[in-house]
A = this chain, B = another copy of it.
Amino acid sequence: MNQNNQVDIEYRVAGQPHAGKVLAVIGPHSDDFSIFAAGTIAKLIDEGYTGYFIRITNDEMDSYDLSTGETILANERDTQAVASVLGIKKVFDLNYRNHYLDEVPPTEIRNRLIFLFRLLKVDAVLGFDPWGHYEENPDHYVAAQATEAACWMAGGRLDLPEHFEAGLTPHSVQEKYYWARGPQLVNRVVDVTGFIERKMEAIRANKTQIRNMALSLRDRLATRDLTLPWLDGDDENVIRNYVDLVFRARDRHTGEIYGLEYAEAFHYIGPGEQSGAFLARHLEEHIQKNAVPLDKDSR
């Protein structure tokens, strides 16, 4: 790959430098909001961002022993609980079918995201990496591609211009944090050490899906005639143990690689970098050297 392999570490910054800015987390499923980036979300909100969740599917497939209708309702409520833990202002549920996002026309999802990005004036998005190799869940890459395209098309004067009649204005998204489950071009690692307990709490709020993971582990162990003592506890304890065993360990592991206590890894794309970092830097250097104050009267 013709990309340098430099990885930037993003540390917590003091104060509220991002006050007035808006972030949206685009999660195909309820537990995507907590598992992959809750530390970074908590940090960015702590630094001033106003945050929104956009949940793309209805999570209808993910529970241990509920009916489809019960599963959907439980996950709808869990998402609100995750949002509450992280200080999210509002959740938008798009409610597409879980596991079936690759049969929704890409432009349909995209158009709804363009509307939301304009409505909320989103500055930064967090979501799945559209180029996360060996991602097995189509919901993940379909949501990622729709997000990526909506980020810049939302800025288009001639894209869905009827929105402007309702008082919206063109508004493109400037920063993207992409997470992945498998191989990815990581170039940004966020130090979430100060937010790890908040993150663990957020993940535990996905009780329907975490309980499914834990009890499925119990069932797999049973086929080997084994069990883990903590799997016999009540739901709250099972969930707490599972979250620490798996998710705390993973963020610690990521941290170790980069010399941090706990970390989340991303492919990050900043303002103007869609055609490579060189052009963004080159242009900014030109501006720094040559720009003059705007004489507003003369225009």
Listed in ascending order, the chain A residues whose CB lies under 8 Å from chain B are 1-3, 58, 60-61, 63, 67-77, 92-93, 95-97, 99-100, 102-108, 111-112, 115-116, 119, 130-131, 133-134, 136-138, 145, 148-149, 151-153, 156, 158-160, 162-163, 165-168, 181-186, 217, 221-222, 225-229, 245-246, 249-250, 253, 265, 267, 269, 274-276, 278-279, 282-283, 286-287, 290-296
Cβ–Cβ contact B70 & A276, under 8 A: no
Please give the distance in Å from A126's CB to the nearest CB on chain B.
15
Q: A226-B293, A253-B282 are in contact. Are A71 and B158 (CB under 8 A)?
A: yes
Please give the distance in Å from A251's CB to the nearest CB on chain B.
11
Cβ–Cβ contact A99 & B159, under 8 A: yes
The distance in angstroms between the C-alpha atoms of A105 and B97, with both chains bound, is 14
Cβ–Cβ contact B138 & A221, under 8 A: no
Cβ–Cβ contact B158 & A227, under 8 A: no
Tell me the number of copies of this protein: 6
Chain B minimum-CB-distance residue to A151 = B136
8 nearest interchain CB pairs?
Answer: A105-B105, A69-B76, A69-B73, A3-B183, A226-B291, A2-B186, A1-B183, A181-B275
Please give the distance in Å from A264's CB to the nearest CB on chain B.
12
A153 / chain B contacts, CB cutoff of 8 Å: 99
Cβ–Cβ contact A133 & B185, under 8 A: yes
Cβ–Cβ contact A106 & B106, under 8 A: no
Cβ–Cβ contact A250 & B274, under 8 A: no
Of the A-B pairs whose beta carbons lie under 8 Å apart in the complex, a sample of 25, sorted by A's number, is A1-B184, A2-B186, A58-B60, A61-B159, A67-B76, A68-B93, A92-B162, A96-B97, A97-B97, A103-B105, A112-B160, A115-B166, A130-B134, A131-B133, A131-B134, A133-B185, A134-B148, A136-B152, A136-B274, A166-B167, A225-B294, A227-B291, A227-B293, A227-B295, A249-B282
